Amino acid sequence: MKLLNNNKKRIKLKIRGKISGTESKPRLTIFRSNKFVYGQLINDSLAQTLGNIISKVEGMAKVNASFEAGKQIAKIALDKNIKEVVFDRNGYKYHGRVKSFAEGAREGGLKF
């Protein structure tokens, strides 16, 4: 298990070395637990969280709940006049709940 954890850290640090969020174009990061998906809008230049969301929806499949969470984080961003973000998949593969979250954010009006 330790080797798996080191590989995930290495992938995550490689991604974070290439992307950074600013005030006009914050970083949209995702964390995937066994039950929920968490999303945050982060301004890295000020080390500040601009908004966050959790996909807590009862009686809905995880992928569909992730899609709805993506639409909600897009609404939060648009309320703060943020139209473009940098997507940080946080070392996860771009499929399943991560892809659904990103598609929901795009449908909600965000560009990345």
- CB neighbour list of residue 2: distance below 8 Å, 6 or more residues apart: none
Q: Please say whether the beta carbons of 86 and 28 come within 8 A.
A: yes
- CB neighbour list of residue 112: distance below 8 Å, 6 or more residues apart: 28, 84, 85, 86, 87, 102, 105, 106
50-109 pLDDT per residue, tens: 999 999 888 889 999 999 999 999 999 999 999 999 999 888 899 999 999 999 999 999
Residue with tokens 């969301």: 53
pLDDT, position 87 = 94
Instruction: Using a cut of 0.85, tell me whether the model's pTM lies above it.
Output: yes
What domains are defined for the chain? 2-108 (3.30.420.100)
Compute φ and ψ for 33, nearest 5 degrees: -100, -175
Kindly report the length of the chain: 112
Q: Please say whether the beta carbons of 76 and 53 come within 8 A.
A: yes
